[in-house]
Chain A
């Protein structure tokens, strides 16, 4: 398990063009990023493409990472998520063999050890926990699946406008809760 401090070192080295550090960074973080991307795209081929672009972007813009501003892994995840969501919004091509790749159910689900519940995460979960249950679900579904409002509305069977308004209200409340 690579600690955030180590990832910060690696990112700093990568910012100076250290290819060895980049390889180590990839080894330390690729599984996490792939997990995030795969959840959004739900296809290995698309996820791999996004991973490729995400890591190239990290390789080139590691200097933009500011340790004072965010956790290193969260920054990398944000880069990958942006690309993944952009890809998810395009009409996706069928997989090469004409059949979407199967995502294995049993890819070794591991528990999130409790020591990984960082203070920041606990604060965030506490704030999300203050929302009404249906709005919690909405927010989490939106984050993990990165569904558009339309997809989400269809999924939750509610009007798009109402969903968007509710989502924004939730975000506002979470923001305020985190601020206090």
Chain B
């Protein structure tokens, strides 16, 4: 299906870290000569780079900074070299074995991290689970029912996972990680990661399922169709469930849906969720939507917080950063400057107020007591002074008397 082209695969594996020494040397050589390959490597670094978030930080020894600082002033030309190979000796087998046995604890750190993150997600999932069972009961169509039944245990799985993930941690801390235990302890750690992944998937899918649910609620048949479709696209892009919505041809989806339940638990969850949202009458759908919303909302909202700030350009940030530091150095001066500026603004505002009042007074005088306005300030006089040529101080043309006026006398 989606095969990577050779250099793309090389770039991906280079970033992933699965190349051996020779292949890495080849990739490094390619990096120096082939800008296209550089772009591919950067592309993959960007794609996979976010995984580092799951790695728990470890404080390095305090002396490390001093070592780095001492070498900062070295001439720029000298290329950064890896640890010199001359002090390398072939590792004794015992050491290698020891190192191998140590993988388990190190993996466990991540496991613990992820297990905790998972626990939070689990709590949300637990709320979503009953809704899924409701879907099972409510939906009568064959494929959907199957998806839902398959889903029920799946939704429970993460909850059951938590104790499992903790078990190896306890085992490892109790014993000094004997070698036999190492591989056993390693697997659950990744399980925990997988749980996180599948739950993220589910969380996202519930979010995706919610948006279309109101309009999808009325026709139950449609619900079955969409459920089947999202199961059909089995590795099931939960986020994509929504786009698939309109295009879903029911007849095509129906036979496929039951075909691959096991590989993608997340997708089944999606199917059931969607079926739930679609088939259950509007009132129930809303009830379901409420708990489903809870897992989604926090994840959706919080990460957004840093995003609105646009990525600062190269020049601006420096200035801002310096500005940020100056006040700390000379706060007094900054305060004085701000005060002076403030005073200037206040004077200006006062002046403008007076001008506005004067104009208002003049206008009022013209309107209500034109005869008491000093001649200098009469409208015509003012206009003449300002250079506006007024035709002449001709007396206003005498209006012909209105017809009624002759009777007035």
Binding site for B on A (CB under 8 A): 3-5, 8-10, 12-13, 15-16, 18-19, 21-23, 26, 30-32, 34-36, 38-40, 42-44, 46-53, 55-57, 59-60, 67-71, 73-75, 77-78, 81, 83, 85-87, 89-94, 99-100, 102-103, 105-126, 128-133, 136-137, 139-150, 152, 155, 164, 167-169, 171-178, 180
Contact = CB atoms under 8 A, between A and B. Distances in A.
Given A22-B72, A89-B24, A180-B237, A175 B47 contact: yes
B371 interface: no
B172 A74 contact: no
Interface in B290-320: 298-299, 302-307, 309, 311-315, 317-318, 320
Interface residues of B, number: 117
A177 B237 contact: yes
A59 B76 CA distance: 10
Contacts of B52: 32, 36, 73-74, 77
B299 A147 contact: no
14 contacts: A32-B57, A36-B52, A70-B42, A74-B50, A78-B45, A78-B49, A107-B56, A111-B119, A114-B117, A123-B239, A129-B194, A136-B197, A142-B16, A173-B2
Contacts of A23: 65, 69
Nearest to B314: A12
B121 A42 contact: no
Given A48-B61, A67-B312, A21 B20 contact: no
A47 to B, nearest CB: 8
Main secondary structure, interface of B, reads helix
Contacts of B200: 117, 122, 125-126, 129
B320 A9 contact: yes
Interface in B228-253: 235-240
- The listed residue with most A CB atoms (<10 A of its CB), out of B80, B110, B187, is B80
A5 B240 CA distance: 30
B24 A85 contact: yes
B181 interface: no
Given A55-B68, A131-B235, A149-B20, A94 B317 contact: no
Contacts of A57: 80
A177 B236 CA distance: 10
B55 A9 contact: no
Contacts of A12: 312, 314-315, 317-318, 321
Given A73-B52, A130-B236, A168-B13, A52 B68 contact: yes
B311 A68 contact: yes
Interface of B: 1-4, 8-9, 12-13, 15-21, 24, 42, 45-61, 64-65, 67-69, 71-72, 74, 76, 80-83, 85, 87-92, 95, 98-99, 102-103, 105-110, 112-114, 116-117, 119-121, 172-173, 183, 186-187, 190-191, 193-194, 196-198, 200-201, 204, 235-240, 263-264, 266-267, 298-299, 302-307, 309, 311-315, 317-318, 320-322
Contact of A111 (B48, B67, B120, B322): B120
Given A103-B106, A131-B235, A164-B18, 14 more contacts: A26-B65, A39-B55, A74-B50, A103-B102, A111-B113, A117-B200, A118-B50, A119-B307, A130-B236, A140-B51, A141-B186, A143-B48, A147-B17, A180-B237
B15 A78 contact: yes
- The listed residue with most B CB atoms (<10 A of its CB), out of A111, A123, A137, is A111
A52 B67 contact: yes
A21 B58 CA distance: 21
Given A36-B52, A117-B303, A171 B57 contact: no
Contacts of B172: 105
Contact of B113 (A16, A112, A176): A112
Given A52-B64, A90-B88, A106 B72 contact: no
A67 B60 CA distance: 26
- The listed residue with most A CB atoms (<10 A of its CB), out of B51, B173, B198, B322, is B51
Contact of A51 (B13, B60, B196, B304): B60
Contact of A121 (B53, B60, B65): B53
Main secondary structure, interface of A, reads helix
Contact of A112 (B17, B54, B183): B54
A92 B8 CA distance: 29
Contacts of A50: 82-83
A111 B312 contact: no
B107 A112 contact: no
Contacts of B299: 114-115, 117, 122
A129 B102 contact: no
Nearest to B98: A100
Given A26-B68, A105-B172, A124-B50, A148 B113 contact: no
B47 A75 contact: no
A142 to B, nearest CB: 5
Contacts of B113: 109-112
A104 to B, nearest CB: 8
B109 to A, nearest CB: 5
A51 B61 CA distance: 11
B4 A35 contact: no
B17 A35 contact: no
A103 B74 CA distance: 32
